[in-house]
Amino acid sequence: MPTKRTAASSGQDSTRRQFKQTKLNFGRPPSQPQQRPKQVQGGEDAVGLTAAPNEDQGDETRKPQTKNVKTNPEEPEESSVVGSTPADDGNGDGDDADLTTTTSAPSPTSTSPPAGQAAAPSKKTPRPKPKPSSSLRIIDKVGDLFDAPPRTVLIHACNCTGSWGGGIALAFKKSYPAAYEVYNAQCKQTTPDRLVGKALLIPPPPPPPAATGSREAQKQHYIGCLFTSKRYGRARDSPEEILKATGPAMRHLMRQIAAEGGGRVGEIRMCQINSGLFDVPWPLSRKAIQSLELRDEDVGEHLELPVDIVAYSRD
């Protein structure tokens, strides 16, 4: 049983994380699926993109239900945060620009010498090195992403135009047609500019009684859509833009996963996002995700940092 995190009321996130090395544990046994998604607590994009599960059991032609989306939240940012555009993950780690790590926290001990006085580097207090983020830990694995136990979140990268027309997205569309309808409806009700850098967590349909119902309903998989490019094909965003959107999209998704609460969501898995049709080398996306720093409101009370995500690739 996971214990509620007692958030430190002061101190840096990085300091707190040193004491939060417990693996993600949702502990609680599966409960009845949420009929209405909870709103994310503590975040302004709380009404985010969690799709309402369908109550029409086993009907793949069901009408998608989506909530109105506040797609451009302005989050209250910490002092170390730089930037506030939707595609800026706001962790100050530089992955929103060129993926080079930078130090966001100013050093109180590093001051300029008075005019006319030479700096004395040897006497300077060494600036503490920023701790590497360990909010999300990616574990690479070869295998079938879709061969996952119930309640697993399966994450993939999406365009914002409502198409799952190629690559692994097409496989998602075939296996999860109802989820596709939810994703498509979400794209239709907003614009790519507002959607990019966001995410959509699509809960599974309610479990069918016994062995009845659609295959999709039987699988009970959550689908996590990361909107990393506004469009697809030749009109897709540049690799830099895609990487810039990847961190914030993952943060948004984690908030929606956290809002599902303990016992509902199981493992978190992803494919090597952006590395196929979006043509961004996987190590860069991997780095963008792993350097994301999450705050309390990003993970909720049921998650413990670091959160493990298994990234599947084919042979």
Ligand X SMILES: Nc1ncnc2c1ncn2[C@@H]1O[C@H](COP(=O)(O)OP(=O)(O)OC[C@H]2O[C@H](OP(=O)(O)O)[C@H](O)[C@@H]2O)[C@@H](O)[C@H]1O
Residues making contact with ligand X (CB under 6 A) = 145, 157-159, 163-169, 171, 232, 271-278, 313-314
| Cβ within 8 Å of residue 42, ≥6 positions away | 296, 297
Q: Minimum distance from CB of 232 to ligand X (Å)?
A: 3
Q: Minimum distance from CB of 197 to ligand X (Å)?
A: 15
CB nearest ligand X: which residue? 276
Q: Minimum distance from CB of 141 to ligand X (Å)?
A: 12
**Region of residue 206 (phi > 0: left; psi between -120 and 50: alpha; otherwise: beta):** beta
Q: Minimum distance from CB of 275 to ligand X (Å)?
A: 4
HSE-up (13 A, CA, CB side) for residue 30: 14
Closer CB to ligand X, 181 or 293, in the complex: 181
Largest separation between any pair of C-alpha atoms in the chain: 82
Closer CB to ligand X, 58 or 64, in the complex: 64
Residue 2: which of 294, 310, 295, 263 has the closest Cα?
Answer: 263
Closer CB to ligand X, 15 or 313, in the complex: 313
Closer CB to ligand X, 198 or 264, in the complex: 198
Closer CB to ligand X, 268 or 303, in the complex: 268
Residue 157: which of 291, 30, 285 has the closest Cα?
Answer: 285
Place of tokens 């001990």: 109
Q: Looking at residue 101, what DSSP letter applies? A: -
229, β-bridge pairs: 159
**Region of residue 94 (phi > 0: left; psi between -120 and 50: alpha; otherwise: beta):** left
Q: Minimum distance from CB of 38 to ligand X (Å)?
A: 28
Closer CB to ligand X, 69 or 145, in the complex: 145
Q: Minimum distance from CB of 276 to ligand X (Å)?
A: 2
Closer CB to ligand X, 106 or 165, in the complex: 165
The one-letter amino acid at 108: P
Q: Minimum distance from CB of 153 to ligand X (Å)?
A: 16
Closer CB to ligand X, 265 or 277, in the complex: 277
For 182-220, letters b (16+ CB in 10 Å) and e give: bbbebbeebebebbbbbbbbbbbbbbbeeeebbebbbbb
Q: Minimum distance from CB of 279 to ligand X (Å)?
A: 7
**Could you give the CA distance from residue 256 to residue 200 in angstroms, rounded to a whole number?**
8
Residue 231: which of 281, 162, 170 has the closest Cα?
Answer: 162
